[in-house]
Structure 1
Amino acid sequence: MNISRTINFICIVVGGLIAFYAQAQQEQNSYILIGGIVLLVFGIYRTSRNIPSKHDKPEESFIKSEKEDEI
């Protein structure tokens, strides 16, 4: 597994655990909850940067142009 993917996964898991922990207490600490959410979103953002867009590759057309038929 790539080190960048490992860091992203750790950020997502730790951020989620911190957010759940901060929300599960009787008296919620807003700063810990915000920190957990920020870490979670940071991990998701870094993961989504590596996913290619569906518009990056050229579209393949099933319709042939007339010029291709003449050749």
Structure 2
Amino acid sequence: MKIGILHKGDKVAAVTEKCVVVQRKNGEADILPIITDETGLRVDTENIITIGYGDNVVEAETEDGVTIVNF
């Protein structure tokens, strides 16, 4: 099995049974949830969390494309 989530310059920061944390080349980190379904293991692309640079603001986008911001 191979999980292809790294790009050139990225590093794996942590691995658990539920997620992989990737430190991206630009310094941000992605928390990629790993789920098991009828086809086996896969990355839950709908629930990836990116930890980036900013002023302690949390942003999320709805299915309709609306951005919700929490301070």
RCO (CA 8 Å, sep 6+): is it higher in 1 or 2?
Answer: 1
Question: TM-score category by the smaller chain?
Answer: under 0.3
Q: TM-score, normalised by structure 1?
A: 0.19
Report which of the two has the higher share of strand. Answer: 2
Q: TM-score, normalised by structure 2?
A: 0.19
Report which of the two has the higher share of helix. Answer: 1
